Chain A
């Protein structure tokens, strides 16, 4: 019956990522709305990291680093828009930019160290 294997064709029945995506969204929203820098950065990191994680897990992307960079680019554009245009929400903009940078750093660290270790297991 699986001739048309649907839109995502893997049916593993457990994934650790959804909870964290769902947590990342409200945390970053709260941070951005009320201008709470750490919450904004942390929430975006949680959200971004989990999105990359879930995309990787479900096979929609193959390279972690490229997915991270793409997402960071979106964040960067958004952050720059907030900080450097007439919108002038400077702190919030910097928070998003900081999250973008940290996301890339995290991605690189993961690629260089963590994944290596896993494979030698």
Chain B
């Protein structure tokens, strides 16, 4: 039996490798008919020429190293993960509509809880940001592509296997069950110690998947740092670098220091689980895990929030009819948050009994980090103050972002205070706090970006009324769900339980209703997104938001305009002349618009 299994695996592996080799042999013959690499393509004009270099159909998507294609892949991936994670939590919220165990078992609830968290943070959050940064950073800074286009593709393709591994426990594989460790994977539970079932291979698979997604994020981060440093158009200086690129640069720096640490901690945990090491089982092992995890974990929350802040800082002024107020201070506060975020991790550990003097210093830094966040909030509000506000869907999502971020941030400041935290730690208050930020702010900024740039990546316009429905349902749903959680936390409802005391029923039901409203909103979004992509009104104008009226055009719209023009002038055919030219500079409009970004 054992030998048979090995044999079957060997044969399978062999056949697979031969198939890969055969496919590669065919595909590699492309070289013979692709234009010589060398000088390559230049500036925005490259687009027309570039598309000739791609094979067609599925193979194009499997082999592409074009930053725009990879951005689209990231986006599609992230939205699928958002749907999966969202449906998981809908199931959980329905279970929580009544106090006892009804719809799903407690263990299944724990599995969903774990997967929901990991899916949303690592498979939705990070990738949706990468979707925007891949597509737009090269356009915004006037680069041909990313510094390492192939690494870029590798980073993306690590993600689908990562998702499969993270979700593996849910697949009908014999003897494999989903992890129930929660996203923080605290030892000794996650080390499989004790009489529980967390020694199961499902946990190992999840850890491997998480590790893989970390490798992917790190590769992406290195690529963005290299790109922003070395590939900028000569007209884009540090002084006029746009705000989104600044936030991505800072985020990449954070990833570079945080994710390898998570990777190492995961490897140590895997060694503990499978090879008898004792990193986390000796005295102090449990607290060691918490230190390692949160040294990664707190920067991770800023990894997730800085680029969305960048999107809001970019989009919000376009619909307020003026430049971002205090641009420099927004950049400085981004950098300040980046630095400070490494000095606050133990605020997640106030209740563990660590040295009170240490605790106090972490409290001080945690309170301090609220200052740059407040600076940004101040700047967004002052940008809108007396502005010419246009309440388009992306603008609504930006305003929603600011509003939710304030509630999320203020609740965070309360948690940063040790005496308050000792009362509220591990209650729904914490869940409410971070969901105001991850859902109310990060996801909202993602939607703002998706709507704002919809014309660029689809060539069409979305349906405005449906967009507004999506916004209002999301806004109401978010606040209903997560404000109820904050109140639940005040009442003492602990987090991460499938059942609860009857006294919490009403607020839990409010939260469930809120979640269902959110669900309806997202269904409308999916409908709008897909249908408009296929059948929406085609955009004829390179400036669909009329940004030129207020002199607020940015480089990606200039690029889009030129793309539309070339498509029109020669009837949609490829522009062959441009293909031969290796040395065109980006025209002036580009450079001008870059400095007001």
Contact = CB atoms under 8 A, between A and B. Distances in A.
Interface string A32-58: 011011110110011000000110011
Contact of B63 (A8, A19, A26): A19
A14 B63 contact: yes
B464 interface: no
A77 interface: no
A121 B26 CA distance: 13
B270 A33 contact: yes
A7 B148 CA distance: 7
Contact of A21 (B32, B69, B154, B162): B154
A10 B10 CA distance: 38
B149 A8 contact: yes
A19 B42 contact: no
Interface residues of A, number: 44
B41 to A, nearest CB: 6
Interface string A1-41: 11111111111111111111111011001100110111101
A84 to B, nearest CB: 16
A14 B30 contact: yes
Given A18-B150, A53-B24, A33 B65 contact: no
A117 to B, nearest CB: 10
Main secondary structure of the interface of A (DSSP, over half): helix
A14 B208 contact: no
Contacts of B162: 26
Interface string B507-527: 000000000000000000000
Q: Considering residues A3, A19, A39, which has the most beta carbons from chain B within 10 angstroms of its beta carbon?
A: A19
Contact of B583 (A2, A10, A11, A16): A2
A29 B274 CA distance: 13
Nearest to B148: A8
Nearest to B208: A29
Nearest to A13: B66
Contact of A2 (B34, B62, B144, B148): B144
Contact of A33 (B28, B42, B145, B204): B204
A1 B40 contact: no
B230 A7 contact: yes
A16 B161 contact: no
Interface of A: 1-23, 25-26, 29-30, 33-34, 36-39, 41-42, 45-46, 53-54, 57-58, 89, 114, 121
8 contacts: A5-B40, A12-B65, A14-B34, A15-B149, A19-B63, A25-B212, A30-B208, A33-B274
